[in-house]
Structure 1
């Protein structure tokens, strides 16, 4: 069996050929080629050590960046392509399931290298010269059966060695729409507690990928096997929320008002996340939007103001997983705002001001979150999602300013018209004009703003 080696790898193929070194593409590139999917990350391997790669590749115009030389890994940069090269190796892990091997021994053949890899479908090798595929661990039959199975006959050995594979198992199954081999699944469940030894950044990366599994290969479409809902339920079955979102252990089985919700808090959260558009920010906000309900109910006896609790908890959860500060801020803001005007009591001008204060991007995301929340309830409820969308469309159409910078008058012009120096009073006047134009966007022109400024 052969695959076509991507043309953009030709400089690397020629470099290995001229050095008479057999090298192989490995992992996702080979797997995806056999499944007629777009290439995944480009990984290659050979018997060359990092030091040898550093000595050889620059002669062929290939830049080498040491990434983890002690692990045998370097990056190769050429023609706008980034390839990760790893020396054939064997490895061992200390007790506890930590992601990084405690022992690495370089080797000279792909068979030994294959047994250190996680799943058989990821241990497929293609000769860079010929495209001929080697399958030391039975990955091709597993591709045909559409099943994820560990490379080792003892799946506990794979999961115990590196507990991050517990999350990778869920991700690959949901990205590809594959079933999970039963022994592999049971080993994952037994070794899931070892996720405590995995760095938060690593857990975060896999968690986000699980939330976005339906966006990984759009050509496959979305069904029950390729969806974030399946991924979230598998995580729940693995009982790993203590390492991702600890509050979900309290949300499981927590009932809600039956006239508003068909599902408990946890199931509702899963359904809202699955209904949200496939972006990291919206999926996270959707998943966490009701995360404050357990604490709110325990402390106050009701779920009112759970959005405020949720904002605080979201910051802590995302912070613990080492999300970037901007992501933490924006997701927690969406969580805090998801209950705004839930009873549709706000007047149109009040909503206009709120939307303008939020800004275009956040307003649109709050609308999408509200719509996902509606779909996740299990009932034909509305929660004024359509009202928000209609008003937002109107504001875009009528030219409503969404920031003071969008006023049709500059600070310098305002100082000349008002006679005010730069300072607090000028800032208050500009804010007053901004709020006026939010409610009356037809007045956002220099002539009218001049009149309004003179009347201050």
Structure 2
């Protein structure tokens, strides 16, 4: 069995070995390589102490960041990429269900691997020494199971985030939970209340962006974890929950779309326009994401008025050009979910009209008008609120007939409107 290690981590291993130290690539990169998936990061573990790692790599004029030096981790910048190098360690006591109060460095790779969360993440590899797999991670990969290293309850008491990580891996890899591990997740589920909202959010995002997100969300519900993360889900009817799962699996892997699909029916069920906003704020999402998701759900609740070109343009202005593709995707998923024989003709016709409007560069906003407030003031219109009102009226005319968007014509119209606003 051979893993192809990219140039930079291979050189890092070589340099550590040349200075008399043990070193392996470890964790997720080994797991992903064995699954024939492209690793996102190549982490390295070694028996070299942090100060020795720093000395080695600075001597080759490489920049080294002391990113987690308290826990034995430094980051080497190599060819514009970041590589974490961590000293083999044994964790001290976990006092907050998240981090150890101290770490003890060790010279043995097995001791380091024994503190890790799941067997599939507790493997290390060296191009000459091969695979180190003391906890049967390779076998569990083949069986497609997520299983804790050692005693599951202890693992989750140490770091409750591991509960969400395990569920996330089932969704990302399409694996299933080993029974003892699953039971321990349920027993220790309340511990996730000790985890920061930001950490929980990050895991939820990864679950939602999995190939089949329904697997992860269903597990969160079955293990009664979802009610701790989003209490609004606690009393949601089973049929409505199943509709949410269907929506999730029928939308593209785009976060704002998946969040909209996830929260669409909870918004309807609770009949509160602020529900989605409050959920996303509680999970510490940024304002842009919150606003876009709320907008997508609001515009998708009912079919907007598409009876005229002007109405379609007003919809485009409300939702914003950047949100259009996300709207089509969510709307099509909703049609699939609600109709036995899905008919997309209406929405696709509107989509074609929108694309035509964009291609022909129809004016849609005040800034697109061939006239400014100063032009109106020069006509004798008092500076202030009346200028804004008249500009909006002119835009309304142009939305109906884009050919009117010429300065002379707009000035002529403005003169006719002048008495009504003075």
Please indicate, yes or no, whether the TM-score normalized by the shorter chain is above 0.5.
yes
Distance 1:449 1:185, change over 3 A: same
Partner of 1:133: 131
* Match status 1:239 vs 2:220: no
Partner of 2:64: 64
Alignment of 1:37-436 (within 5 A): 37-94=37-94, 98-127=97-126, 130=128, 132-152=130-150, 154-214=151-211, 227-253=212-238, 264-296=239-271, 309=272, 311-341=273-303, 347-377=308-338, 379-380=340-341, 385-409=347-371, 414-415=375-376, 418=379, 420=381, 423-436=384-397
Distance 1:52 1:419, change over 3 A: farther
Query: Normalized against structure 1, the TM-score is what?
Result: 0.83
Q: Which runs of 5+ in 2 are unaligned?
A: 418-422
Question: SS of the counterpart of 1:247?
Answer: helix
Distance 1:402 1:364, change over 3 A: farther
By how many angstroms is 1:282 displaced? 1.0
Distance 1:349 1:137, change over 3 A: same
Question: SS of the counterpart of 1:77?
Answer: strand
By how many angstroms is 1:446 displaced? 4.4
By how many angstroms is 1:25 displaced? 0.6
Q: Which runs of 5+ in 1 are unaligned?
A: 215-226, 254-263, 297-308
The farther-off stretch of 167-176 and 14-23 is 14-23
Distance 1:399 1:51, change over 3 A: same
Between the aligned partners of 2:412 and 2:178, the Cα distance in structure 1 is 74
Between the aligned partners of 1:404 and 1:14, the Cα distance in structure 2 is 61
By how many angstroms is 1:6 displaced? 0.7
Distance 1:424 1:131, change over 3 A: farther
Distance 1:133 1:367, change over 3 A: same
How many aligned positions are there? 416
Distance 1:449 1:364, change over 3 A: farther
Between the aligned partners of 1:435 and 1:211, the Cα distance in structure 2 is 40
Deviation digits for residues 247-298 of structure 1 (CA, Å, limit 9, x no counterpart):
1112133xxxxxxxxxx222212222222221111111111112233433xx
